[in-house]
Structures are given as structure tokens and as C-alpha cells.
A and B are shown apart, each in its own frame.
Chain A
């Protein structure tokens, strides 16, 4: 090594071919990543833009307040049906999923936790049509085509989401927080509920919303269970029930322009509801860090 061969001035101030090439490579690589990022979000924007474009002419107060058979047809029963079937599914699977996630994170042995995770991951991977056929062939013969059967099918799909998220966010709570509580003489169960779960709460809520979004968008199991109806179906879980995905599926294939337009409008409503849920939870998450 003859390091003293070039002066400091030469070494620092005279860019060689190598330096130029490096700068060029740098620039090209950055552009490649930029384009990739752009390509990734492009379909999203196109989708949102196009759906909004097609839906807007059909949006009206009547659309949101009337049922399909009313004088001026609307999609109220689909909105209500979607919300109440998802709500029922979350109401049942939420507490079970949260408790199960807490168990896996806080109390299960390493072996049980690994097995549990494995089983949940399999459940997460269940295609919704599989939950659908199960509900169709096992639950529908007992419960009939009904909101009950649909909610059960949705529950099978939402439970693992709630459970897995809860487990993961509980695990992110630093052990020192649990120790701080235990060292104050707070019993384990109170520490788990009032300190660990409380600290992880924003994440747990996010899991619930993720599950709700998934439930709202599910189509296949609903087609096989709730079936759809034109009648009002408020809290009437015993019979067929309408839902936004069912309505979109049925109307999109219809011949008349109004039905197709209402399919677009329903798609927009569904998107807005899911978006609102996500924004709500983000807002809660940010606030709870301060409060």
C-alpha cells in the first residue's frame, strides 16, 4: 500500500470515473425503487378513482335509507345486514380471540404457544369458500339460510385474526412493564388485564378492526348462508339476510343500468365504511399514547 502516493487534495477533490459511476448507479437504483413503489399504489388509486366515478351518479339519500323493493330502491337492508352480521361475529369472536391471544402470549408454555400459533396460522389461511362450504353443508341444514349461519361462517374467519393480533401485540409489551407491576404486589391476573393488556390495547383494537374489515368484505360464505333478500332484515337473524357483498355480486350481473349503478354505489359505501373503521382505530391509537 503506497498511501502517500496521492495528495489529500487529489484524493478528495478530483472525482474519477469510479465516482461518477457510483453517483449514476445511485440515481438509477433510487428511480427503480421509486417506480416500483408507484406501481404498487397505482392500482389502488385507479380502483378508488374508478369506483367513485361510477358510483357518484347513483349516490343519493334514498339509496342509503330505502330497501330494494321501495318505490325508490335503496340498499339499506344490505348495509344493515353487513354491519349486524359482522358485529355479531366480532361480538362473539372478539372476547374469545382476545382471551385466547392473551393465554398464548402470557400463560402458555413455549410448546403450546408454538402449536397454537401454527393452528391459528392454518386458520388464517382457510380460504373463505371453505368456511362457506362448511357453513352451507353443516350449519345451513340446522339453522337454514340465515344470518346465524352467516355470522358463524364469518366468525370462523375473524377469530384467528383477533387471536393472532392480540398475541403478537401482547408479546410486544416489554417484560419490564409486567415486572414493574408484579413487583408492586399486583397479582398476576390484574397485571395481565390492567397493565399488559391495557398497554397493548391499541394493537388489540387494531386487530378487532382488521377482523371487522375482513368480515365486511367476505362474499363467498355469505352467498352460501345468508343468500340475500329484498326484505328488511333488521336484527332478524333467523331468515335470509342481505349484505353489501351479496348485493354487489347479484346487481353487477344484472341487466338493468340502475342495478349495475347501485352495485358501484354499494362498493363505494363498503369501501368508505372499511376506511372509516381503519381511520377510527388509527386515531384512537395515536391518542391513547398520550392519554
Chain B
């Protein structure tokens, strides 16, 4: 079985590599409906384990994340959801002593393969953090342009288009178009978070990872971000970590429920369609968690 899977992976890898590579070189950030047929954006996690030094934070997670859909990772604090999320774009390994085992593949390409560079992975898999973190020295415009500008590969003439398209996509354009030269940190918390989303989509990722993107925001700002997430799901594979079960049920198509075993290592209890997980989960543990009985 496993051998067959591997063979299949190799075939997928060969057929998809050509499609994935040139995508990053695309020009403007205008909506690109043709992308739908180009890249699937399927994430496959196989026996993923994540460590901080000797401590195993995530144990043996296998999960398929569907493209153009929102997958929510839920579970009690400390069950490794954020850690798992950070293994997907290889941010986990930026922490000294942190390592990953197992395989994570995007459209069949192993993100931890020897021929794949972490920097490239992060261009294809964008991330939005728990606390809005716009660059404090940069204006709104510069924040959105940051990803492209810091790599210095985009012509200045193209930049205006990319910035506008990204801000529109993040549903922020109308609020900031008059003040693009003001510091990014001058915006409200919710606007800052949408600015960070604009910054992430400006580099044209396939996948967006969101690590509790609303936990620092008020309910109104939260609702706006959630609407935005639904819109973005038409184009991106979205994985969102959330503590808020209502949020998971509102925004996600699929849900994966995690818990902790006795070594404090997080593991996947079950995953499936969000409606199934919230109404008729297979595991009793899931049921008591979504019913609010613990966590």
C-alpha cells in the first residue's frame, strides 16, 4: 500500500512540478481565474511529527487538506495546532532545536524534500499570524509591497497594480486608498490584520495559513476577517487554527480536531466535513469538546 502511495507521489510530483514552478513569476496581482485549472493546491500531511529539541509537540498526524476550501484545526490549548500549522510552511524549523519528521506535500511535491528550499516553500505558502504584525517602519503601501520588494524582483511600475489588487483582495482598499503613505501601524487592529493578509497574498501564494487570526480582534473586526476568509477560499487552500469553535463552524468546510496524549504530544483525533465533526463526530472526545465540555 505504502509503496503504491509513494509511486503515485512520484508520478504526481513529475506532472505537477512544471505547473508549480513558473507560477511565482507571474506578474500582477489581478484576479486570475485561470489559476483554477493550473494548480490544485492539495496539501497532504503524512505521519507528521514536530519536535522542540527532545519534546514531541505533534505526534503522527496524517491529513489531507483540500484546495479552495477552508480547513480548521481545533483543539484545546497546547495540543500542537499552531506547531503543526508552522510545519506546513517550514516556519517551525526557524526555532532553534525545532525539527520535523514525516512528509508534507503540496500537489505531490514533498516540501521537506532535499531539492526544496524553505524560502521557496514560504513564498508558495503564506501565513497570517495571531497578532497583526505589520512592519513598523513601513507605510501601508510598503507593507503590502514588502514581500516583493524585499526580494527586489518586481519592477516599480508593476508594484502599484500589485498593491491595489492585494488590498482589494483583502477587502481593505476602500478604507486605505487615500492614506497609502501612512504607517501600517496607524490602522486599527482589524485593519492591520487585513493589511497582513494583503501582504501575504501579494506574493501570490497557493496556500494561506492562519494562526488564530482573530484572537486579538473585537467581534466586528472578527466578522470582517471571517467574511474575507470565505472569499479567499475561492482561490486558496486555507488552513486556519482557531480556539473559537463558533468560528470554526462558521468559516470552515473541513475540521480537524486535535487533542493531547499523556506525553503532552498533540495528535489528530479525527477530521472530516465541519458539519459532521460538529453534529455527529465519530469520537466521544470530539463530541465532548465541540459541546464545550472541556478545553
- Which residues in chain B, 142-178, are within 8 Å of chain A measured between CB atoms? 146-147, 150-151
Q: Quote the shortest CB–CB distance from A113 to chain B (angstroms).
A: 12
Q: Quote the shortest CB–CB distance from B87 to chain A (angstroms).
A: 13
B246 within 8 A of A: no
* B contact residues around A190 at 8 Å (CB): 150-151
Segment with Cβ contacts to A, from B132-140, B226-234, B284-292: B132-140
B199 within 8 A of A: yes
B29 within 8 A of A: no
* B contact residues around A181 at 8 Å (CB): 135, 146, 150
Segment with Cβ contacts to A, from B9-17, B69-77, B121-129, B263-271: B121-129
A216 within 8 A of B: no
Asked if A199 and B135 make an inter-chain contact with CB atoms under 8 angstroms apart, the answer reads: yes
Asked if A184 and B137 make an inter-chain contact with CB atoms under 8 angstroms apart, the answer reads: no
Asked if B151 and A183 make an inter-chain contact with CB atoms under 8 angstroms apart, the answer reads: no
Q: Quote the shortest CB–CB distance from B198 to chain A (angstroms).
A: 12
Asked if A183 and B91 make an inter-chain contact with CB atoms under 8 angstroms apart, the answer reads: yes
A288 to B131 alpha-carbon distance, docked (Å): 23
With contact pairs A181-B150, A185-B151, A199-B135 given, residues A176 and B129 touching in the complex (Cβ less than 8 Å): yes
Find B119's partner among A176, A179, A180, A185 (CB 8 Å cutoff).
A185
A198 within 8 A of B: yes
Q: Which size bracket describes the interface of A in this complex?
A: 20 to 34
A201 to B135 alpha-carbon distance, docked (Å): 13
* B contact residues around A179 at 8 Å (CB): 91, 94, 129, 133
Contact mask A256-282 → B, CB, 8 Å, 1/0?
000000000000000000000000000
Which residue from chain A places its CB closest to the CB of B94 in the assembled complex?
A182
Contact mask A152-190 → B, CB, 8 Å, 1/0?
000000000000000000000010110111111111001
A195 to B143 alpha-carbon distance, docked (Å): 11
Count A/B pairs, Cβ under 8 Å.
70
Contact mask B111-123 → A, CB, 8 Å, 1/0?
0000000011111
A194 within 8 A of B: yes
Q: Quote the shortest CB–CB distance from A285 to chain B (angstroms).
A: 12
A290 within 8 A of B: yes
* B contact residues around A183 at 8 Å (CB): 89, 91, 122, 126-127, 129, 200
Which residue from chain B places its CB closest to the CB of A202 in the assembled complex?
B137
* A contact residues around B147 at 8 Å (CB): 184-186
Asked if A290 and B137 make an inter-chain contact with CB atoms under 8 angstroms apart, the answer reads: no
Asked if B137 and A199 make an inter-chain contact with CB atoms under 8 angstroms apart, the answer reads: yes
Which residue from chain A places its CB closest to the CB of B143 in the assembled complex?
A180
A174 to B130 alpha-carbon distance, docked (Å): 14
A205 to B34 alpha-carbon distance, docked (Å): 49
Asked if B199 and A184 make an inter-chain contact with CB atoms under 8 angstroms apart, the answer reads: yes
A180 to B120 alpha-carbon distance, docked (Å): 15
Asked if A288 and B137 make an inter-chain contact with CB atoms under 8 angstroms apart, the answer reads: yes
B272 within 8 A of A: no
A184 to B137 alpha-carbon distance, docked (Å): 17
Which residue from chain B places its CB closest to the CB of A201 in the assembled complex?
B137
Which residue from chain B places its CB closest to the CB of A181 in the assembled complex?
B150
Asked if B151 and A198 make an inter-chain contact with CB atoms under 8 angstroms apart, the answer reads: no
With contact pairs A186-B150, A190-B150 given, residues A180 and B129 touching in the complex (Cβ less than 8 Å): yes
Q: Quote the shortest CB–CB distance from B183 to chain A (angstroms).
A: 6
Asked if B137 and A182 make an inter-chain contact with CB atoms under 8 angstroms apart, the answer reads: no
* A contact residues around B104 at 8 Å (CB): none
Q: Quote the shortest CB–CB distance from B162 to chain A (angstroms).
A: 13
B48 within 8 A of A: no
Q: Quote the shortest CB–CB distance from B134 to chain A (angstroms).
A: 8
B203 within 8 A of A: yes
With contact pairs A185-B203, A195-B150 given, residues A180 and B133 touching in the complex (Cβ less than 8 Å): yes
A191 to B135 alpha-carbon distance, docked (Å): 11
Some 11 contacts from A to B, beta carbons below 8 A apart, are: A180-B199, A181-B135, A181-B150, A182-B94, A182-B122, A183-B126, A184-B123, A184-B126, A186-B150, A195-B135, A289-B136
Apart from A184-B150, A186-B146, what 6 extra A-B contacts exist at CB < 8 Å?
A: A109-B96, A176-B133, A181-B150, A182-B91, A183-B91, A190-B150
Shortest 9 CB-CB distances between A and B: which pairs?
A185-B123, A184-B147, A183-B127, A185-B122, A176-B133, A186-B150, A180-B133, A187-B119, A199-B137
